[in-house]
Amino acid sequence: MTEQANPAKAQKIQKINGVRGMNDLLPADAAQWTHLEHVLRDLTRAYGYEFLRTPIVEATAVFQRGIGEVTDIVEKEMYSFEDRLNGEQLTLRPEGTAAVVRAVVENNLLYEGPKRLWYTGPMFRHERPQRGRYRQFHQFGIEAMGFAGPDIDAEIILMGQRLWDELGLKGVRLEINSLGQAPERAEHRAALVTYFEKSKDQLDEDSQRRLLTNPLRILDSKNPAMQELIEGAPKLLDFLGEESLKHFEAVQTLLKANNIPCKINPRLVRGLDYYNLTVFEWITEELGAQGTIAGGGRYDPLIERMGGKAAPACGWAMGMERVLELMKVSGSLPEAPAQCDAFVIHQGGETLTSAMIIAERLRNAGIDAILFCPPDGQAASFKSQMKKADASGAAYAVIIGPDELAKNEAQLKDLRSTGEQKAVALDSVVEAVIDAIVGATE
């Protein structure tokens, strides 16, 4: 029988699921995100960073030019589409840096001098979803623009370390490298090509392709069969000139002076093409394969490449989901705070009117209040409302039944510590709740 001929079957409406790799943030996790966001706001304020928000959608060229055509992100991970209303080529941002640089150049933000900027929000990459790797994920990032010296490289790394300490993250290590300048990389690249060409048959398909396009990225390969070959490859650090080495050493000296341990990883090249000199990543073994919680570095060529007046810059970004997961593993996620201060209970009719007025008065006084609203529109028993009050996490219940209303009173019940209940005049409910809250915190 067709669905049309079977009305009972036709009535069953299919639910529509979210997009694979793009997750809902559910109420149970909201407090953790809010906590993290607060810590991040405090951190950025402590170091003089200003907030900036760019759109989620940019012209595709921003990322093609910014991140580089020959990168995994641009080659295969971008959500790009044509706006069918005007034919524009657009992309859901896969990262923040190129977009922030676009905004800085467009709005001439460096006109008055260097800027320290931060941002947060969703990013989109079409990767294979797994633990810690999503198609929509959230980044927090900082970008310091207009500063050339190694001091700012060290400062942004100190910021990261302070953040991990503040969040109680355990087992995070810092790896650092220098990518030098373009002519140094060109020399190294030539040496790499010669080296890998000799053993071309040992390269996997991806690396054979990269040999022609971006041989540095071969060093990034995780393919176990190629590790020995990669170990023996010419190291970029050996091609760095005096200036680049001086910068790299100065960063390390400043980190050491601030007791920040780091490991030099000559194979750390990062997956985006805008970097020069210092690059770094924070890595943990606690999260399985997706253990990089944050990464960044210096990207002096980018502002000019995006059409701005040449200016040095550096920054880093972290994956919020990965950091929250590591907080969970480290046992440092805070307890969810109580949802509200007061839960207001009534019996419908006139008691509802009074209860609604009292709830508004409580909110006027800065006290969070939930007013009981029966799901079926009918008044519910006190008992079932008290259960709801308890489950809401509220510290106090304000009870207004017909008996209370007749006496112009409400009952105030302590739900968390003492369980005490007392009558208070309706006009004094707000003061009574404030007194109770103050008393409980003393």
Binding residues for L-histidine: 95-97, 125, 139, 143, 270, 274-275
Q: How far is the CB of 271 from ligand HAM (least distance, A)?
A: 6
Looking only at the bridges linking them, the beta strands covering 276-284 and 172-178 are antiparallel
Q: How far is the CB of 77 from ligand HAM (least distance, A)?
A: 8
Of the candidate residues 141, 291, 308, 312, the single one contacting ligand HAM (CB under 6 A): 141
Distance (Å, whole) CA 242 – CA 201: 36
Residue 283 within binding range of ligand HAM, rule CB under 6 A = no
Q: How far is the CB of 133 from ligand HAM (least distance, A)?
A: 4
Distance (Å, whole) CA 281 – CA 294: 6
Q: For residue 261, give both structure tokens.
A: 């341990």
Residues 128 and 95 sit within 8 Å (Cβ to Cβ): no
Contacts with ligand HAM in 87-116 (CB under 6 A)?
95-97
Q: How far is the CB of 398 from ligand HAM (least distance, A)?
A: 44
Shorter beta-carbon distance to ligand HAM: residue 314 or 345: 314
Nearest residue to 121 via CA among 88, 106, 99 = 99
Beta strands in 43-171 (DSSP E): 50-51, 57-59, 79-82, 89-92, 115-124, 136-145
Distance (Å, whole) CA 17 – CA 8: 23
Binding mask 404-423 for ligand HAM (x = CB under 6 A): --------------------
Q: How far is the CB of 301 from ligand HAM (least distance, A)?
A: 13
Angle, helices 150-167 vs 242-257, to 10°: value is: 30
DSSP assignment letter at 14: P
Of the candidate residues 143, 153, 184, 409, the single one contacting ligand HAM (CB under 6 A): 143
In this structure, the number of other CB atoms found within 10 A of the CB of residue 381 comes to 9
Residues 59 and 88 sit within 8 Å (Cβ to Cβ): yes
Apex 324 CA angle, 44 and 34, nearest 5: 55
CA-CA-CA-CA dihedral for 285, 288, 292, 293, to nearest 10? -90
Shorter beta-carbon distance to ligand HAM: residue 136 or 354: 136
Shorter beta-carbon distance to ligand HAM: residue 234 or 315: 315
Distance (Å, whole) CA 113 – CA 110: 5
Residue 325 within binding range of ligand HAM, rule CB under 6 A = no
Residue 343 within binding range of ligand HAM, rule CB under 6 A = no
Task: Using CB positions, name the residue nearest to ligand HAM.
Answer: 319
Binding mask 23-62 for ligand HAM (x = CB under 6 A): ----------------------------------------
Instruction: Mark the segment that binds ligand HAM (CB under 6 A) among 234-242, 257-265, 304-312, 315-323.
Output: 315-323
Shorter beta-carbon distance to ligand HAM: residue 143 or 273: 143
Of the candidate residues 127, 166, 206, 220, the single one contacting ligand HAM (CB under 6 A): 127
Instruction: Mark the segment that binds ligand HAM (CB under 6 A) among 286-294, 304-312, 328-336, 349-357.
Output: 286-294
Looking only at the bridges linking them, the beta strands covering 115-124 and 50-51 are parallel
Distance (Å, whole) CA 369 – CA 235: 63
Q: For residue 258, give both structure tokens.
A: 């601030």
Residue 305 within binding range of ligand HAM, rule CB under 6 A = no
Return residues touching ligand HAM (CB under 6 A).
95-97, 125, 127, 132-134, 137, 139, 141, 143, 271-272, 292-297, 299, 315-319, 321-322
